[in-house]
Amino acid sequence: MTLETPTRIHLFHVVLENPSFSQLGVLWRKIRSTVTFIPIHSLVLIYRALRAADITLHLYLIPNDHSLRKAIEEEETKWESKLVPKPPQTNALYFGSQYEVSGTSELKITPDQLELCYRSPADQQSYIELYMTDMEEEIKLHMKDRKDGKLVWNTFVRPEAMNSDEEEEVLSMQNKQKVMNEALLQLVERKGARAQEELYQSLRETDPYLVQDLEQSS
């Protein structure tokens, strides 16, 4: 970290012209990702994908890097996911090591292991999918080093953590969308054959697979 002398100072902001920021931070990330003997502070993040089927969780294992957490948060937003708050810190881990995740017998885990590595925030971050049809009792999750079986992280996920106002809001939005779609179809029907043809052609362009299924079933 270095201090730069501002070019101009105003009441509520300063102006810094032609700054010379070091690229060491970017290079150091890449250097760390190739050095396997340095222990890394790491995090386990769990999200529930509300738009996925039943109880679907995404479990991430990443270096403790704010930019990676931000990238994952933005990606999970597409699934309207909810962060399941659990202690994220692990024991000291090492790049290139494989870590295995296990839980209750009812839990389907795909895949069952992750490799700790550094991926650019612009890339898709790897995760494990945890799936259950329902959740009546708490589940315990373990993460162990696949090489020596050493426990590096564990937690409990309880049913009450899976219920939230966000889930109800998503369901409400889906119901509203369904009502709007039905209203649109009724409007097109009243407009007649020309409006129906225009809607049909629009669907062929935006969702050809839906149109194909409808044509095959008719």
Name, of 10-24, 39-53, 187-201, the range with top average pLDDT. 39-53
pLDDT of amino acid 33: 60
Average pLDDT for 160-165? 62
The reported pTM is: 0.63
Average pLDDT for 9-32? 72
Q: Which two tokens stand for residue 201?
A: 């052609």
Q: Assign 145 to helix, strand or coil.
A: strand
Question: Average model confidence (pLDDT) for the chain?
Answer: 83
Average pLDDT for 75-102? 91
In the structure, what pLDDT confidence band is assigned to residue 158 with cuts at 50, 70 and 90?
confident
pLDDT of amino acid 27: 61
pLDDT of amino acid 32: 59
Domains of the chain, residue spans: 30-161, 166-217
What's the CA gap between 53 and 90, in Å, rounded?
Answer: 29
Per-residue HEC secondary structure of 178-198 comes to HHHHHHHHHHHHHHCHHHHHH
Alpha carbons within 13 angstroms on the beta-carbon side of residue 34 total 5
* Domain 30-161 part of CATH 3.20.20.100: no
pLDDT of amino acid 34: 60
- For the cut 90, the answer to whether the pLDDT of residue 135 exceeds it is no
pLDDT of amino acid 118: 87
Q: Which two tokens stand for residue 140?
A: 């315990």
